[in-house]
Amino acid sequence: MHIYPDATAVVRALAPDEPVICNRPHAAARAARFFAEKFPGKSMYAVKANPTPELLQILWDSGITHFDVASIAEVRQVRELLPEATLCFMHPVKTKSAIAEAYHVHGVRTFSLDTHEELAKIVEATADAAGEGATDLNLLVRLRVSSEHSELSLAAKFGVDLVDAASLLQAVRQHCDALGICFHVGSQAMTPFAYVQALERVRAAIAEAAVTVDIIDVGGGFPSSYPGMEPPPLEDYFALIHRHFEALPISYSAELWAEPGRALCAEYSSMIVKVEKRRGDELYINDGAYGALFDAAHVAWRFPVRALEDDLTQGDEEFSFYGPTCDDADYMKGPFMLPADIQAGDWLEIGMLGAYGAAMKTRFNGFGTAEAVIVADEPMASLYTGERADPRQSDNVVSLR
Ligand SMILES: *Cc1c(COP(=O)(O)O)cnc(C)c1O
């Protein structure tokens, strides 16, 4: 595939009427190597953040060997592309047929759960033809933890409460080879103390249950960098997690796992969009709430933007966006900072869309097609180039709500 130097070169070459996804393989490879080398345990990629085959291959080639999958379609997709990858089925609510196919056909041995009912399902679905129970399961009990330090909560839906955790851990222990505890502190966790707090809850669960625990899985939530959301260095997260993991009452050979999604792929993609119309400080662009800008519309996420024109002379001003579909909900409040003289016919680049961006596109209202190209320049922000100002010097860590 042709490699363009940057998004401006793409616009010059293609003058695209449809959105174009600009992928940066070097940025995804750099993030993967960072986690593979520096996280003090095993990093598995949470596939839902961005399941494109090119990205999965880049992560595999850069040292990510484990993949967190949540549906049987994700199991099949990753297994076909990466036959030797280790797949972990980390959705706490699965159908029996999905568990059976994952175990018997695709070699999945690791499952998460948060109820006794799900345990019964897993035990039945993984038994052999004679009804003999599996002896090679890694079962991870998903513990409910706080999402208070994160920009997107994952606390309400899944996870066993601490008061019910002991009996579930004791029951699961009877049916697994390795027993684990997992949690998710919420996506874009803005401080490492989110993990410290969650690990304290893990400690309480282990003490109460008095079982041997072999795996501690701290889940996803590792942040990326967005306007108004500059997190501390990832090394701080790794160091605190490691210290508090080491202090847990767990077996000597216990393993530490993580399930980064966003942090491994946010920098991978940006998107070129065209301004179709301007009304005051509102720009009508050709991607939106039903496209790669789902989070910009639905949770007012701010993404970095830049104009891809060299004839704009005015300073930056705050803009909001409308997407291409016919309803008012296709609106992104921003603010997005762009030159005050931007106008219809101009192109923009929207950065940091590799996670929960390209993956969210629908075909609603006949929109949603996008070509993908490779570009060689740096992402608009990076946690991995070592060029960031130390955010602890400033107070720019803000919450969206
Ligand atoms: C979504 C999800 C992840 C990835 O979360 P990020 O915030 O993108 O790192 C990891 N584990 C589970 C179980 C998830 O549902």
pLDDT in tens, 158-184: 999 999 999 999 999 999 999 999 999
Give me the sign of the Cα torsion angle 284, 285, 290, 294.
negative
- pTM of the full predicted structure? 0.94
Give the largest CA-CA distance in the chain. Answer: 76
pLDDT at 90: 98
Name every protein residue with a CB atom under 6 angstroms from any ligand 1 atom: 46, 48-49, 68, 90, 184, 187, 219-222, 259-263, 355
CA distances from 118 to 2, 113, 125, 167 (A): 48, 6, 10, 14
Q: What dihedral do alpha carbons 400, 160, 183, 107 form, nearest 10°?
A: -130
67 touches 47 (CB < 8 A): yes
Among 123, 115, 104, 107, CA closest to 174: 123
- Candidates 39, 45, 48: which one to mutate for ligand 1, based on the most atoms within 8 Å of Cβ? 48
State the Cα–Cα distance between residues 265 and 50, nearest whole angstrom: 7
Nearest CA to ligand 1 atom 13: 90
Distance 13 CA to ligand 1 centre (A): 37
Pairing of strands 150-152, 187-189: antiparallel
Q: Return the CATH fold of 40-259.
A: TIM Barrel (3.20.20)
AA identity, residue 179: L
Distance 371 CA to ligand 1 centre (A): 27
Find where tokens 């948060």 sit.
Answer: 114
Among 264, 300, 273, CA closest to 52: 264
Residue 363: is it exposed, middle or buried by C-beta count within 10 angstroms (0-12/13-18/19+)?
exposed
Question: Range(s) for CATH 2.40.37.10 in the chain?
Answer: 3-22+268-375
Among 112, 304, 312, CA closest to 217: 112
φ, ψ for residue 398, nearest 5 deg: -120, 155
pLDDT at 53: 97
Q: What is the DSSP letter of 290?
A: T
pLDDT at 387: 64
State the Cα–Cα distance between residues 163 and 234, nearest whole angstrom: 32
Question: Range(s) for CATH 3.20.20.10 in the chain?
Answer: 40-259
Find where tokens 């393989």 sit.
Answer: 25
144 touches 132 (CB < 8 A): no
Distance 142 CA to ligand 1 centre (A): 12
Please work out, in degrees rounded to the nearest 5, the angle formed at the alpha carbon of residue 267 by the alpha carbons of 371 and 159: 105
State the Cα–Cα distance between residues 172 and 181, nearest whole angstrom: 11
Find where tokens 């024109």 sit.
Answer: 309
Tokens linked to 257: 């796992």
- Candidates 39, 42, 68, 182: which one to mutate for ligand 1, based on the most atoms within 8 Å of Cβ? 68
State the Cα–Cα distance between residues 368 and 287, nearest whole angstrom: 7
373 touches 1 (CB < 8 A): yes
Pick the CATH number of 3-22+268-375 from 3.60.15.10, 2.40.37.10, 2.40.30.30, 3.40.980.10: 2.40.37.10
Cis previous bond, 335, omega within 30: yes
Residues with Cβ within 8 Å of 388's Cβ and at least 6 positions away in sequence, in order, are: 225, 230, 233, 381, 382
Task: Please list the ranges in the chain whose pLDDT falls under 50.
Answer: 391-401
pLDDT at 390: 52
In tens, the pLDDT along 64-73 reads 999 999 999 9
266 touches 354 (CB < 8 A): yes
